[in-house]
Amino acid sequence: MDRETRSRIETALGTHIAEARPLGVGFGLKGYAATLADGRQVAVKAARNAARSHLPLEAYMLEELGRLSELPVPEVYYSDPALLVMSWIENDGGAITKSAERHAAELLAALHARPFPHFGYGRDTLIGPLVQPNPEGDDWIAFFRDHRLQYMARRAHEEGQLPAAMLTRLETLAQRLGDYLSPPPYPSLIHGDLWTGNVLVKGGRIAGLVDPAIYCAHPEIELAFTTMFSTFGRAFFDAYEALAPLEPGFHECRKDIYNLYPYLVHVRLFGAGYLGGIDATLRRLGL
C-alpha cells in the first residue's frame, strides 16, 4: 500500500494500519485487504484518478442495500472520491456449491418479495463503471426498453463498439418487447450485478454479495444475469421457484432477452468478444 493511501485511511478511520496486502479489483482501482490496529479487518478501494471516480456512488448503493434488505453486504466505514473503506467479509474463496445456491435463492426471494413504488430509483446508479439511468416510472417494459436495452446499445454504438446493423436489430426488438415480456406484480429492489466474482461463500452459505448495481426492476432481469456466466444453476432455480414461482417462458426465452443488457455492458467494457451472444439471441428471435 502506498504511503498516501495509508495516510488517508488512517486519518479517515482514526487508527493505524497494522498490515495490508493487495486485493484484486477492477476498472482503474487499487484494492487492499487491511488489518487495523483496533482489530478491524477492512477492504479498501482506492481510485487512481479521483476526478473520474464513482466510489461515493458505490458506497451509496451498498448502504441502500444494507438499509433496505437482509442481504449480507459490506458495511461502509468511509467513502470519498478517492477512497472507499468497507468491512471485510470473511469467506473461504471456494466455489458456489449447491447448498450456497439454495441459500442465495432464499436471500434473493426475500429481497424480491418486498414491493417498491416505482421502477428505476431515486438517482442514477452504476453497473461496473458505467452509468445506469434510473428515472422513476410505472411501466416496466418501457423502462427496460428505454433505459436499459436502447440506452446501453446506443452508448455502445456511439463508442464504436456496436455495429450499426446490430443496433438496428436491437432497435427493432425494442419496439416488439411487449410480444415477449410482461410486467411483474410490483417493482422489486435488485442487487443488479450477480455474477460469480461478486458472490462470496463460506461453509456452503452465502457470506457476502458485493459490487451492487441497484435499481428497482422485474426480478427476472436479476435472475437472468445469474445464468449468463453460470453463477447459479438448477439448485438455485429449484429453490427460488419453490418460494416465488416464475411465469412460463422465462428459461426458454425471456432470460435471453434480459441478458442482452449485460451483454451490451460487456461489449462497452471489453469489446467485440461479447457481440456473439447478442447475435445469437437476436437470431433466435428471427431478427
Q: Does residue 129 share a domain with residue 236? A: yes
Residue 5: in which H helix or E strand, if any? Answer: helix 3-13
Residue 105: which of 115, 117, 96 has the closest Cα?
96
Q: Establish if 93 belongs to a structural domain.
A: no
Domain closes at, from 87, 118, 149: 87
- Among the options 38, 92, 193, 238, which is catalytic? 193
Q: Distances in Å between the alpha carbon of 68 and those of 24, 131, 189, 243?
A: 28, 22, 9, 20
Q: Establish if 266 belongs to a structural domain.
A: yes
CB 187 within 8 A of CB 119: yes
Q: Establish if 158 belongs to a structural domain.
A: yes
User: How far is it, in rounded angstroms, from Cα 77 to Cα 1?
Assistant: 18
How many domains does the structure of the chain reveal? Answer: 2
Q: Please report, as a single letter, which amino acid is at residue 98.
A: K
Domain closes at, from 87, 120, 146: 87
Q: Does residue 165 share a domain with residue 79? A: no
Q: CATH code at 212?
A: 3.90.1200.10
User: What is the residue-level pLDDT of the chain in tens, covering all 287 positions?
Assistant: 888 889 989 999 999 999 999 998 878 789 999 999 999 999 999 988 776 789 999 999 999 999 999 999 999 999 999 999 999 999 998 899 999 999 999 999 999 999 999 999 999 999 999 999 999 999 999 999 999 999 999 999 999 999 999 999 999 999 999 999 999 999 999 999 999 999 999 999 999 999 999 999 999 999 999 999 999 999 999 999 999 999 999 999 999 999 999 999 999 999 999 999 999 999 999 99
Q: Establish if 244 belongs to a structural domain.
A: yes
Q: CATH code at 40?
A: 3.30.200.20
Q: Does residue 55 share a domain with residue 121? A: no
User: How far is it, in rounded angstroms, from Cα 268 to Cα 130?
Assistant: 9
Please give the residue range of the domain that contains residue 65.
Answer: 3-87
Q: Establish if 184 belongs to a structural domain.
A: yes
Q: What does the pLDDT read at residue 28? A: 79
Q: Does residue 133 share a domain with residue 19? A: no
Q: Does residue 176 share a domain with residue 103? A: yes
Task: Clarify whether 80 is annotated catalytic.
Answer: no
Q: What does the pLDDT read at residue 2? A: 84
Q: Does residue 138 share a domain with residue 193? A: yes
Q: Does residue 136 share a domain with residue 67? A: no
Q: What does the pLDDT read at residue 164? A: 98
Q: Does residue 137 share a domain with residue 263? A: yes
Q: Which residues contact 189 (CB under 8 A, 6 or more apart)?
A: 65, 68, 69, 111, 112, 114, 116, 214, 215, 216
Q: What does the pLDDT read at residue 184? A: 98
Q: Does residue 112 share a domain with residue 230? A: yes
Q: Does residue 198 share a domain with residue 164? A: yes
Domain closes at, from 87, 113, 148: 87
Which pTM was predicted? 0.95
Q: Does residue 256 share a domain with residue 140? A: yes
